[in-house]
Structure formats: structure tokens, C-alpha cells
Amino acid sequence: TSSPQPKPVQVKLVLLGEAAVGKSSLVLRFVNNEFHENKEPTIGAAFLTQKCRLEDKIIKFEIWDTAGQERFASLAPMYYRNAQAAVVAYDITKQVSCPFLHALSKTPQKHPFKPKHYIALVGNKLDLESERTVPTEEAQAYATEQGLLFTEASAKTGEYVMEVFTEIAKKIPLEQ
């Protein structure tokens, strides 16, 4: 007989990062295991849910993806209100100029994520290794310094996309 399934722990997760780094594609890969080469840009905000099953718990992510939030300051508060986790994405072939990252490092007291919250930095488009401009070590060092989780992934091939969400899920306590 199988043991009863644990009750899912609901976690709001927001996607952050510059336009076209592949935020929507990462979500689409995680939720539907799909990839669209010429994806239409997200209009407004999209909301999707997906469960992550670990040995001892089930985390149900409520994923908020939005367009037009290149500048962190312009993010609607409703977007990140009560968010417990975030995926901050960048494109490994583009210089990272995400003002969100800048804001995160310069004014940690102002960003909405409290220390107990879980933020993963994700270098997307790992399939474009030959066009890489952001060295892994540089991003990893930045993530370590900021206390962020770090993964490089490809929404296109699916490589390491699951890991992004699993690593966050592992950190979420059973009782909140």
C-alpha cells in the first residue's frame, strides 16, 4: 500500500528579469514541458500553477509571469505581494544589466523579499553556449555573495529547468 500524499504547500513565485531572456519559456517548459521558438510576448500578467513533488512534501507553485517589468521599480505591488519565492532570469549570451539585480544588491532592505524567502538566479539559454558572454563563475560568485540559489538552464532543451524549481521547493519548510 502506498502512503498517503502529503498536503501540498502553496507557494507564490514571481518571475523577474529583462524582456526576452526567456522567463515565459522557462515557465512553459516547467508547466507543460513545451518550447515555442517564436513565442508571442506575454501581455499583462500570466498566472500558472505547477506542483513539485519531493520525497517528503508537495510544493504547489503559483507562478506569476509578467511583461513590461524591466525596471523593478515599475513592478505592480500586487505582482510581488506575498510572494515567497522568485526566479530572477538572465540570458547567458547577453550582458546582465538587469536593474532588478542592481536594486537587489544595493538596497536589500527595500526589496520585497525577506531573508526567509527563496530567490534563484537562473542563467537561461544554456544551449547557446557558443554565444556565451556571461561566465558561469561570475554569475555563481554573484549569487553566492547575495545568498541566492544559482542554476544555468535551457528552456529550449529543457536542461536543468526542473532543477530550478526543485531547488527552491527543497528550501520551503513543510510548515509555514
Q: Which residues bind ligand GDP (CB under 6 A)?
A: 19-25, 36-39, 41-42, 124-125, 127-128, 154-156
Instruction: Give the residue among 27, 8, 5 at the shortest CA–CA distance from 16.
Output: 27
CB of 98 to ligand GDP, least distance (A): 11
CB of 137 to ligand GDP, least distance (A): 20
Give the nearest residue (CB) to ligand GDP. 22
CB of 9 to ligand GDP, least distance (A): 26
Residue 23 or 101: which CB sits closer to ligand GDP? Answer: 23
β-partners of residue 119 are 86
CB of 61 to ligand GDP, least distance (A): 17
Residue 9 or 92: which CB sits closer to ligand GDP? Answer: 92
| CB 25, CB 156: distance < 8 Å | yes
